[in-house]
Amino acid sequence: MEKFYTTTAIDYVNGAPHIGHAYEKILTNVIFRHFQKRTDDAYMLTGTDEHGIKIQKTSAQNGQTPKDFCDNNAQKFIDCWKLLDINYSQFIRTTDENHKKTVQKIFKKLVEKGDIYKHSYTGLYCAGCEAFLSEKDLDEEGCCPNHKKKPEIVSEENYFFKLTKYKEQIEKHIKQNPDFIIPSFRANEVLNQLENIEDISVSRAKTNVSWGIDVLDDPEQVIYVWIDALSNYITALGYDTENPSADFKKYWPADVHVIGKDILKFHSIYWLAILMALELPLPKHILAHGWITIDETKMSKSLGNVVSPSSVIESFNMDIPDALRYYMATSAPCGKDGNYSDEDFKEKVNAHLANSMGNLLNRTLSMLVKYFDGEIKEEFIVKSELFDEAKKTIAEVKHHFDYYEVQEASLKIVELVDKANKFVTDNAPWTLAKEEKMTECGKVLYIVLETMCTIASLIEPYCPNIARRMASQLKYDINTKYDDITFNNIKAGKLISKEEITPVFLRLDSELADKAKK
């Protein structure tokens, strides 16, 4: 692969990050870290969406300017992603000056092209969605299905984007590229939405919304969310209507936009139409993930079940975020909803990371020290069918990531760990040592440790700190690309001393924090 460019949705900064935000960022970061092991040029973009009526109202209620409010809340997201070891390449804010200037140029270009026009309009406006809805979009009670509130009737003269002009092109693209929308079952949902599309409002009158990017030639209007927010994926790379940057030319189109299923319509219809109007290449894939429930219940402030990522890390006294990263990234099959519960979290990460994987490494290294003073002898270095299983697992994991099946890939890694554990049980090196079959015993330990190098590489995107700890004890280069993985990493000679052996992941046995604290 020449390059890999992935993005998350940019988060609206009217509140602090919760576990739903974290799920998307962890999922994207695991994908990003995986492809870092397949290319020398991977790029991950995340950021915050900072304009609109909700920010304007909430900041006023808090006695702050909109910019101060955004600065404070954007920092909460930056701090949270640092806590979760999300090593993004760039964090964009829609209040960044470069972004604002480019959005104004994009808007002006589309006006000049005739794809944006001014029009008086009366419609149903949902403040939660920051979108005009049609009656077909509402539920049986006449409410927005996402926010459960009735939209207000708004009359304005705004600028509109000719979405309908690109309807047939979008439909053709989706039908001709069955893997464009992931999971594929959501494509029909988008095609159904496409049937009833109308031109969309892309500005608001300043008398109603003042917190936004000014329309260049019309100071009475501010640019509305879609062109502002969606354009971040290209403005971050230095897109310019006249002279795009080297980074834009290098990374665009995006390999995958990772977004929530609730904003799929905006990315697979609105964003495609904007790109078509700008005559730019389309993203290769859109991954629409599901939602995270809490104890099988949808998160809600009124229910008091909104969980912050930092509270989980604190309540379990974790020194690294790997357990939460692993749990969230593997919480749901591709595109389906997932669930978080304290008990399931503790049970799953203890089983997979501590009991199965961590214990396998710890006891194998301990036996190497006990029987051979931590030394690998030349005669231990042999080939094994377990290496064939490891090679097969690398291919299977890569295949799943090609389709962004992150949970499914993790199950293949767990299977390899289970096979390595079974290999130890079946060959019983402790029995071989007791019977003084020391060469046979050493071969078993070598084969397992060599396999653990591959396991460390495969688990690194999910658990970067645990993988580094494993690699350190194995004297293995954790930055090895997947195509360069070999099965001669463990060399003859002293590998490890008793003092160097430490558990790579401790079981989560701390008392659960009181629910009210979350």
Catalytic site positions: 18, 21, 126, 129, 144, 147, 298, 301
Structure tokens, 229? 């927010």
Tell me how far apart the alpha carbons of residues 190 and 194 are, in angstroms, rounded to a whole number: 6
The DSSP code for 355 is I
Residues in the chain: 518
Q: What is the CA radius of gyration of the chain?
A: 26
> 494, 502 in Cβ contact below 8 A?
no
Q: Are 306 and 300 in contact (CB under 8 A)?
A: yes
Strands (E), 168-327: 181-182, 200-201, 203-205, 213-215, 218-223, 256-260, 286-289, 292-294, 297-298
Cβ atoms of residues 22 and 340 within 8 Å: no
| 3-class DSSP assignment, residue 153 | strand
Does an H or E element contain 43, and which?
strand 42-49
CA dist 416 and 321 (Å) reads: 23
3-state secondary structure of 294: strand
326-354: b or e for each residue (b if 16 or more CB lie within 10 Å)?
A: bbbbbbbebbeebbbebeebbebbbebbb
- Give, to the nearest 10 degrees, the angle between helix 19-36 and helix 66-83: 60
- Mark 407-435 as b/e (b = at least 16 C-beta within 10 Å): bbbbebbbebbeebbebbeebebeebbee
Beta bridge partners of 258: 8, 287
3-state secondary structure labels for all residues of 258-288: EEEHHHHHHHHHHHHHHHHHCCCCCCCCEEE
Instruction: Count the helix, strand and coil residues of the chain and give each as a percent rounded to the nearest 5.
Output: 50, 15, 35
Closest by CA to 166, choosing from 125, 132, 200, 215, is: 200
Question: Of 326, 382, 356, 357, nearest to 473 (Cα)?
Answer: 357
User: DSSP letter at 512?
Assistant: P
Is the separation of the CB atoms in 368 and 449 below 8 Å?
yes
End-to-end CA separation in angstroms for the chain: 43
